[in-house]
Structure 1
Amino acid sequence: MKMTKLNYMQCWNGAMALLGAHKEAILAIAGVFLFLPTFLFAQFVQQPILTGDEDGSAMLVIYSVYFSENALPIMLSNLVISFGGLVIYFTLAPSRNHTVADDLTAALKVFLIYLLANLLTGFLTLIGFFFLILPGLYLASRFALVPIVIVDQQERNPVEALRQSWALTRNNGFSILLFVLIIAIVGTITVGALQAVTGIVTGLATSGTGWPFVENLVASLTGTAFQLVLAVVIMSIYIELSGKKSDVREIFN
């Protein structure tokens, strides 16, 4: 297989083209499966209250209690969000041109395989983190295309999906890592700034009490937007490295 060197500008332009071409479908999917569970979770599940003086042992106790008391909503919200992400990948896949209903059905059929592949990816990535942060991040980059392999190449063996992602990202692991890190850092700063401004405005408007509904709404909207950007970037990386198109923009010609 001929190795393709990742082109950041082409990937970014391709990601924005994907977003523009499928905006109606993916916004509808994201609204139901990404935004809504995130917002409802923020509204109805009380986050741990920290004073800032907790040591490691105290933090462990606090979060252990938090996760044990909220295991069901945490699990359900994560499952719904994961399913929504899979549907979005089906919508964006270059080999498909189906309705949202078709994509929902297709995603449902492979959701268990997708979860198994994610668990296997997480396990292998965790091993990398045991050695140092960089190996873990590198492994995450090499396995970033696993969901797309399942969706676009109809791979139903989770182990084979990992192997194909590893092959597709050959000689591009650190390039993918740097590209995604740049987007993640910029996105995190942007999302954090918007949420901080919202908190300041609502705090001033309510004499310090704030408006949790508005703050959660903004946090959920910005978080969903960030997830969408990451999804189209990962798909654009796959399209370039897989050779599906010499230029990702050709998809829309």
Structure 2
Amino acid sequence: MPKFDLGAAWDDSMVLLKSHIALTSTVAAVFLFLPTLAVSWFGPVPIEPADTATFEQIMTAARTSAMQAAPYQVLVSVIAAIGGVGILRLWLSRTGTSVGDALVFALKMVPTMIAIQLILGVGLGLGAVLLIMPGIAAGGGAISVLLLFVGGIALVAILLYLWGRLAVISPALTDKTLYNPIAAIQTSWQLTRGNGWRICLFLFLVTLVVLIVAIMLGGVVAIVAGTGEGVGRILTGLVEASVAAVSGLVTTAIVAATYRQLASGDGKDIFS
């Protein structure tokens, strides 16, 4: 397999972002911006433990907040996935397609996307158990801590590698109309052979930049308006939704550009 070119992929992602800009921006606004904004404004408010709370009370509050937010986050993720596949359909279609047709296609792909997430989730869960269990089974002490540390490092490394190897599942199933989740996973695995770490680095660098920008904007809003109810929550929601929309659109362009390059060898002779 040819080596993945990060620079070429970035340039191509910028080209994709400029194409169909009005249509893709509208889809991103509806499927990425608005759902995140709605949850930020009207969803459950995270529980803030008292200043004198113990560690156990803090963890209990965090678990409760996570459980309350989980259904909303799942719904937002599904809606975002529909929007993402719709945008990919607009970008990767060789014959051209309308927004309506792209979104109908994305809706048809929802069962496949859910199945892919379940397969990967179960697989990663089992892998995590296998890596962590030796440390737990050791029963405490220095050996147990060492085994848990090694298992944790191994798990992080595997997750990062899989991030790169499975990065083009969505563009692959979109371009090839793969309703079979296993076929979509296999296609991504084949296309990214020999480039897993390079693709992971590419995605990591972009994610890091997005994270830094989000933290900076969130910090500015917290200083200006606070994080409580009222203006603070309104502004925080707008920032979160804007970051979600922009980062989602950029990430979609990046995985699409990565797929274009890997599927064609140089990314210049297809999907034009």
Please, what TM-score do these two structures have when normalized by structure 1?
0.86
Q: Is the 8 A contact 2:88 2:256 kept in 1?
A: yes
Question: Structure 1 residue 107: deviation in Å?
Answer: 0.9
Question: Structure 1 residue 85: deviation in Å?
Answer: 1.9
Residue 254 of structure 2 corresponds to 233
Give the residue type in structure 1 aligned to 2:266. S
Question: Structure 1 residue 16: deviation in Å?
Answer: 0.5
Give the residue type in structure 2 aligned to 1:227. G
Q: Is the 8 A contact 2:260 2:270 kept in 1?
A: no
- Tell me the number of residue pairs that the alignment of Structure 1 and Structure 2 aligns: 245
Question: Structure 1 residue 219: deviation in Å?
Answer: 1.9
1:246 aligns with 2:266: yes
Report which of the two structures shows the higher radius of gyration computed on alpha carbons.
2
Question: Structure 1 residue 86: deviation in Å?
Answer: 2.0
Residue 199 of structure 2 corresponds to 176
Describe the superposition over 1:112-170 as per-residue Cα deviations: whole angstroms up to 9, x where unpaired. 11211122223334455544201111112211111112110111211111111100000
Residue 165 of structure 1 corresponds to 188
Distance 1:171 1:51 in 2: 50
Q: Which runs of 4+ in 1 moved over 6 A?
A: none
Describe the superposition over 1:67-119 as per-residue Cα deviations: whole angstroms up to 9, x where unpaired. 44455434332322222222222222243520100001111112111211122
Give the residue type in structure 1 aligned to 2:172. V
Describe the superposition over 1:195-220 as per-residue Cα deviations: whole angstroms up to 9, x where unpaired. 212222334xx9x9853212211221
Give the residue type in structure 2 aligned to 1:167. Q
Residue 19 of structure 1 corresponds to 17
Distance 2:224 2:210 in 1: 21
1:220 aligns with 2:219: no
Provide the identity percentage: 26
SS of structure 1 residue aligned to 2:109: helix
Q: How does 1:184-203 map to 2 (within 5 A)?
A: 184-203=207-226
Q: How does 1:127-138 map to 2 (within 5 A)?
A: 127=126, 129=128, 130=131, 131-138=154-161
Q: Which consecutive residues of structure 1, in runs of 5 or more, have no partner in the other structure? A: none
Which has the larger displacement, 110-119 or 92-101? 92-101
Which has the larger displacement, 154-163 or 10-19? 154-163
Distance 1:196 1:151 in 2: 37
Alpha-carbon spacing, 1:249–1:192, altered in 2? closer, same or farther (3 Å)? farther
Distance 1:29 1:7 in 2: 29
Alpha-carbon spacing, 1:59–1:202, altered in 2? closer, same or farther (3 Å)? closer
Q: Is the 8 A contact 1:15 1:236 kept in 2?
A: yes
SS of structure 2 residue aligned to 1:211: helix
1:80 aligns with 2:101: no
Give the residue type in structure 1 aligned to 2:211. T
Which has the larger displacement, 45-54 or 25-34? 45-54
Alpha-carbon spacing, 1:217–1:134, altered in 2? closer, same or farther (3 Å)? same
Please, what TM-score do these two structures have when normalized by structure 2?
0.81
